Amino acid sequence: MSGLPAIEYHERTKHSPASVREGDFSLDFENKPLPFERYTSLPSRDLAGTIRPTQQPALAAVAEPTADPLAGCAQPRPGLDEDLLSQLAYYSTGIVEARSGDDARDAGAEGASTDWERLRERYDRLFAAASCTGKLYHVDCYFVCGDDAGVPAGVYRFDPPNYAFDVLRDGDFRGVLAEATGGYEAVANAPVTLVTTSTWWRNAWKYRERTFRHAFWDSGTLLANLLATAHGLDLRAEVVTGFADGPVADLLGVDPAEEAPLELVPVGQGSPAPEPPAVDPIDPETLPLSPDPVDYPSIYEAWNAGVLDEGGTAATWRERGSGRADAGDRCSPPTVAGDRYPLDPVDHASAAKTPLPRAIRRRRSCREYDRESLSFRKFSTILDRATRGAPMDVRGVDDPALSFVTPYLVVHDVESLPSGAYRYHVEDGELELLREGELREESAHLALGQEWAGTPAANVYFLANLERVVDRLGDRGYRVAQLEAAIAGGRFYLATYAHRGLGGTGLTFFDDPVTEFFGPAAARTTPMFLYVFGHAA
């Protein structure tokens, strides 16, 4: 099947007032898919029963811009064990709440319930650690482990409801991932590499063709949790977007037309992978996701347009991304000479000390806000910590913190800051006023008419110049732009919920009206992600 070019896909899946008004799609709740994969015959391995959570403050963990939090330090490095592996799984994609007193666990893979309807109803009452569009949890985490990862070497899929690893393969297959990345050092030397995937139908049931966007929104918020957890445990971790897709899919036993790999995250170091072994085909049996899955071909076509065929190609592609280009060649927006307002974030010693695990468990998608002014220092601190940049293989050490997207804000009620529209200059730590005035009604309209965009203290949009991104990185660059925005959005969640009494949520939006709203400063850009935050009601 041929690929659908990224910009064509993006244009085709834009929201507009007319498309939303004229749409006649309705949800078929009888056909709603299970939010979690259920293998019917694979063995499973329970993870550590008691988690010893890191006490690293959330605001420190989310602000780490480099892969190695101990770089240049004499502090001993922790080795991976089952407890640390369990924390990585739980705080990135585990079940943090089960409503109605339910136990998250079910009968397990070998005794899986055949009552599909009852299983789905139970799963619908579970809440995972990271935000996900529609609470549909279509992003899964696989762990490719060597002998130094704290569990027997193998390929595992994390089963959130049962807090267990499904065992797909026995043995050390890390060399397959190293080869798929063209020998990328972080992957070749990591004792464990996590692989995220999206099962398209689990999200497309509600969002149809837009699921390819959501794959990176939702893996991005998950990766924000994962990176923060790893860095909070003093483990090296970064996001790898350049890899040969086919070998990774084959290793996991997935068909990319239905479930496709998205990102790799090598965790730890100092454990060289062996030569890649032969990868025999596997096709583990699973419970049906729903009675009648619907195929939306443009999702797979958009994914297929950015596929890399082998490791050497992946290495060349990666070099194009982290080539130390100046900002103007990456994402710099047009110059507009608006008034500047420097941020005033608190320093590390004065920042809120909420431990990362507590912020993760506290996180919700808040939709009710008090119209109470947000202090400028809290606002500045959240904005500063969330946008320091995430370690990615396509972002060089000298590249801007946000290399592919630019934050734009609508401020409704922040002390000492005029209400209005702003562009945030990340490297300078300054807001540039683009338009002053009360904009609550317009904000609600831009967010698909959702009133909760007009009530919080501020809205943050991430916009990208997709033509420049795709010109530099090809169609795969679309994934990178969406992902960079979403990881920053996930960090906004954690930085917000590090402060007691605050809340936030991601929202969908009208695409072109957002660009028009921010005026000449946003010319030739398009929105990737929206996050709103303020005092929770």
Enumerate helices (H) and strands (E) in the chain, giving the number of each: 18, 15
CATH code 3.40.109.10 for 29-46+56-272+281-310: yes
Q: What is the pLDDT of residue 21?
A: 86
* pLDDT recorded at residue 327: 43
Per-residue pLDDT 10s for the chain (537 aa) are 579 999 999 999 999 999 988 888 999 999 999 999 999 999 999 997 778 788 999 999 999 999 999 998 888 888 899 999 999 999 999 999 988 655 555 544 444 445 788 888 899 999 999 999 999 999 999 999 999 999 999 999 999 999 999 999 999 999 999 999 999 999 999 999 999 999 999 999 999 999 999 999 999 999 999 999 999 999 999 999 999 999 999 999 999 999 999 999 999 999 999 999 999 999 999 999 999 999 999 999 999 999 999 999 999 999 988 764 444 445 556 666 789 999 999 999 999 999 999 999 999 999 999 999 999 999 999 999 999 999 999 998 889 999 999 999 999 999 999 999 999 999 999 999 999 999 999 999 999 999 999 999 999 999 999 999 999 999 999 999 999 999 999 999 999 999 999 999 999 999 999 999 999 999 999 999 999 999 999
Question: What is the SS3 string spanning 42-61?
Answer: CCEEECCCCCCCCCCEHHHH
User: Tokens 């136990």 — which residue?
Assistant: 103
Number of Cβ within 10 Å of residue 255's Cβ equals 11
| Per-residue tokens: 205 | 């049931």
Assigned architecture for domain 327-535: 3-Layer(aba) Sandwich (3.40)
Token pair in block for residue 438: 């009360």
Half-sphere exposure of 494 (CA within 13 A, CB side): 40
End-to-end CA distance of the chain: 49
- Joined together, the tokens standing for residue 299 give 């999702």
Contacts for 357 with CB less than 8 Å, ≥ 6 apart: 53, 54, 91
Q: How many CB atoms lie within 10 A of CB 145?
A: 27
- pLDDT at residue number 333: 60
> For residue 212, which amino acid is it?
F
CB atoms within 10 A of CB 98: 16
The DSSP symbol for 77 reads: P
Written as one string, the DSSP assignment of 7-37 is HHHHHHT---HHHHHH------GGGPPPSS-
pLDDT at 105: 59
Question: What pLDDT does residue 374 have?
Answer: 98
Closest by CA to 426, choosing from 460, 396, 453, is 460
In terms of Cβ atoms closer than 10 Å to its own Cβ (0-12, 13-18, 19+), residue 170 is: exposed
Cα 229 to the center of its chain, rounded Å: 14
Radius of gyration of the chain from its Cα atoms, rounded to whole angstroms? 22
- Predicted confidence at residue 116, as pLDDT, reads 80
pTM: 0.96
Q: Report phi then psi at 97, rounded to 5.
A: -155, 140
The strand pairing partners of 436, in sequence order, are 420
The ranges assigned to domains in the chain are 29-46+56-272+281-310, 327-535
pLDDT of residue 334: 63
Are the folds of 29-46+56-272+281-310 and 327-535 the same? yes
Sign of CA dihedral 142, 397, 485, 6: negative
Q: CA dist 377 to 114, 351, 373, 491, 499, Å?
A: 53, 10, 12, 17, 12
CA atoms within 13 A on the CB side of 110: 6
Nearest CA among 264, 271, 233 for reference residue 147 = 271
